[in-house]
Amino acid sequence: MLAIIVKRIGNAALVMLVVAFIAFMIFQFLGDPVQLMLNSQATQGDRDALRIRLGLDQPVIMQFFTFVVRALHGDFGVSFRNQREVMSLIAERFPATFELVMVSTVLALLIGIPLGVFAAINPKNLAARMARMVSMIGISVPAFVIGIVLILIFSVQLGWLPAFGRGEVVQFGTWSTGLLTPSGRLALIMPSISLALFQISFVMRLVTAEMLEVLRTDYIKFARARGLPDRSVHFRHALKNCMMPVVTMTGMMIGDLIAFALVTETVFQWPGMGLLFVQAVMFIDIPVMAAYLMIVSVIFITLNTIVDFVYLAVDPRLRQAGSGGGGHVR
Amino acid sequence: MRAAPLPNDRPDTGPVLDIRDLVVEFPTRRGVLTAIRGVSVTVERGEILGIVGESGAGKSLTGAAVIGLLEPPGRIAGGEIRIRGRRIDNLPKRDMMALRGSTIGAIFQDPLTSLNPLLTVGDQLIETIRCHLPLSRAEAAMRAIDLLNEVGIPSAELRLQQYPHQFSGGMRQRVVIALALAGEPDLVVADEPTTALDVSIQAQITALLKRICRDRGTAVMLVTHDMGVIAETADRVAVMYAGRIVEIGPVDDIIRRPQHPYTRGLIGSIPSLVTSHERLVQIDGAMPRLNSMPAGCAFHPRCVLADTRCRSTLPPLLTNGSGLAACWNLAAGNAVEAA
């Protein structure tokens, strides 16, 4: 068990190193930073001084080493565009995105899983069919359309919910949260729903498909033949066996949303990382792009590692390190 | 005319399982397919009844009908199923659920897939026991240990904590049997319980089934395609073909003196250790499809003895020696065998 954990973390570190190398290569290939940073009046002496100050006179391998060491300290340099520490820029924006994504993911799981189970065990029920229809819409309509429709109804027409922004936030050190103020919570409703709608539909369809598969297995048939009540057969025996793909997809979805929630963030003017990234691309702000790449990778790798550990917790067969199954007694 | 004697009025002395004229249908878009066409059979307390036949003969469906777990759209379209004199084929879903496990136990073919891989053997046993008996978790755990001991699993306390993948195939089938017995059923329907196991383990499992049947007085309906397993385990055997019983009787008589041409074919196809064969004897042709049943005896297209009567009229089950057989040419059959 411990061996597996160490191995997984080792794998994660290795992947991070590769990503760091790619992020580092962006600096090498997207033009000369000295050219980008100095104006055309600068002398050759100025250029050389800056080159030495930035460490660009060092061999490439040393530059990479310095980059990794700095990245480990959270130092990604200074944004070309607004001359501020990249890390503090991201730290400012990250909590907003993270909060939005987590709320919509929790919504998706709390609503999607029960709906999926319901649709699988009552395939002919009218409500279940309706839910499946609506989930089709949820999957195919893009989040920004839903966002705009929501704004139209609840902000413009009814005036119940704020159309943009995060509302009031409470600051905990570098972390800001809107969950503790009434206006923050109100502001969170529409963006999280428009993000969650796709996820709810997706989780529901995934759970339904998996449940239908599992309900056909021999162990479910045998559980029924032993006279176990439906509740136990469905939730204790069947649902647990459906959880692996749900865990996998949830992990990927969270990563995906944190990295690319920018459409929803733009619609609701949500001060998250999406906006930061769009600006960085437009101004060829290399340090911000590199840091963004690194941070998104860290998030994905962390989530995948967590997913792997959840697998281990759910499925006892995976806890046997190294043996390809079929081992009898440990 | 009937395979089964009339049931006794007193349930305690009558057969545990009494199936009469069971008909199972599958409504499809192209019409109703009748998979079981009037099966009558009984199983007594402490008796093992073997049901044998090739794939599609309806033997597993008969078992599924008894447990009340026919796969939709399959349905019981006629006849009666009684357990200890009580009719169960028309019970509401909820009442049938209460019977499963406590009155009728079931064992399925593949022990590798019959157990939930994510729950320990103990969890599955304890849940099943508590579903049928009013016991605390600790008491149920004690019972689970007793059950595992009874089915021959050593160090039962330790084994309760383990997951199915930590058991070998034979051990898993023992766990499956323990689970089937957890609710103290009167009848166990065992559908191909040894098919997925290798031969030496098969012998252990059939011995275990026999012992349980003897010690507990449980009635067992053993569904299999394997004549060898039937010969070793069953007291009586019913041979099914195309949804009907074609021959039924004490297992020794049927194996030594099969009456129906189909049974003779089945037994003839078992390789013998004594005499050497160039080729195994086989029954030519295949069982008719459900949507194209021939008129008369369903076996006549494959039968060497078939005559005009076989092609037009269905033979009833006729008393023949110690058993019953459904064939118009029993006398001729005997003559052929004697020759």
Residue B116 CA to residue B163 CA, distance in Å, equals: 9
Q: Does A226 touch chain B (CB under 8 A)?
A: yes
Which chain B positions have a beta carbon within 8 Å of A230's beta carbon?
Answer: 97
- Chain B nearest-CA distance from A137, in A, is 30
Residue A229, CA distances (Å) to A226, B131, B199 in order: 9, 8, 35
User: Which candidate from A222, A229, A240 shows the least CB-CB separation from B114?
Assistant: A222
Q: Where are the alpha helices (DSSP H) in chain B?
A: 59-67, 93-99, 111-114, 121-132, 137-150, 156-160, 169-181, 199-216, 227-233, 251-256, 261-268, 308-312, 330-338
Tell me which residue has tokens 């980059």. A67
Identify the CATH class of A92-284: mainly alpha
Q: Is residue B333 in a domain?
A: yes
Residue B195 CA to residue B230 CA, distance in Å, equals: 12
Q: Is residue B198 in a domain?
A: yes
Which chain B positions have a beta carbon within 8 Å of A244's beta carbon?
Answer: none
- Complex ipTM more than 0.90, yes or no: no
User: Which candidate from A222, A227, A314 shows the least CB-CB separation from B108?
Assistant: A222
Domain that holds residue B272: 17-103+185-338
Contact state of B166 with A330 under an 8 Å Cβ cutoff:
yes
Which positions in chain B have a beta carbon within 8 angstroms of at least one beta carbon in chain A? Answer: 67, 69, 97-102, 105-106, 108-110, 113-120, 127-128, 131-132, 162-163, 165-168, 171, 176, 179-180, 182-183
- Chain A nearest-CA distance from B165, in A, is 7
Q: Is residue B4 in a domain?
A: no
CA A50 to chain centroid, in Å, comes to 37
Please report, for the domain that includes residue B99, its CATH number.
3.40.50.300
Please tell me the predicted confidence (pLDDT) of residue B1. 40
Long-range contacts of A258-264 (CB under 8 A, 24+ apart): A258/A97, A258/A98, A258/A101, A258/A296, A258/A299, A259/A296, A259/A299, A259/A300, A261/A97, A261/A100, A261/A101, A261/A195, A263/A142, A263/A143, A263/A144, A264/A100, A264/A143, A264/A144, A264/A147, A264/A191, A264/A194, A264/A195
Which chain B positions have a beta carbon within 8 Å of A314's beta carbon?
Answer: 118
Q: Is residue B213 in a domain?
A: yes
Q: Is residue B97 in a domain?
A: yes
- Residue B273: pLDDT band with limits 50, 70, 90: low
Please tell me the predicted confidence (pLDDT) of residue B333. 44
Eight-class DSSP state of A76: -
Number of domains in chain B: 1
Contact state of B115 with A219 under an 8 Å Cβ cutoff:
yes
Contact state of A224 with B127 under an 8 Å Cβ cutoff:
no
Which chain A positions have a beta carbon within 8 Å of B132's beta carbon?
Answer: 227
Q: Is residue B80 in a domain?
A: yes
Please tell me the predicted confidence (pLDDT) of residue A176. 79
* Residues in contact with B248: Cβ distance below 8 Å, sequence separation at least 6, in sequence order: B3, B41, B236, B237, B238, B239, B317, B323, B324, B325
Helix/strand number for chain B, H first, E second: 13, 12
Least reliable range by pLDDT among A12-16, A67-71, A208-212, A226-230:
A67-71
Higher pLDDT, B336 or B137: B137
The per-residue b/e assignment along B292-306, b for 16 or more CB within 10 angstroms, e otherwise, is eeeebbbbbbbbebb
Q: Does A217 touch chain B (CB under 8 A)?
A: yes
Give residue A208's region: left, alpha or beta (phi > 0; psi -120 to 50): alpha
Q: Does A328 touch chain B (CB under 8 A)?
A: yes
Per-residue pLDDT averaged across A274-294, rounded?
82
Boundaries of every domain in chain A: 92-284
Test mutation, A121, A212, A215, A226, chain B, max B CBs within 10 A:
A226
Name the average pLDDT for chain A: 82
Q: What is the pLDDT of residues A132-172, one digit of tens each?
A: 888 888 888 887 888 888 888 888 888 788 877 777 777 77
Number of A to B CB contacts under 8 A, please give it. Answer: 91
Residue B233 CA to residue B229 CA, distance in Å, equals: 6
User: Which candidate from B98, B108, B171 shows the least CB-CB separation from A218?
Assistant: B108
Eight-class DSSP state of B16: S
Q: Give the helix/strand (H/E) hosting A14.
A: helix A2-29
Per-residue pLDDT averaged across A56-64, rounded?
80
Q: Is residue B128 in a domain?
A: no
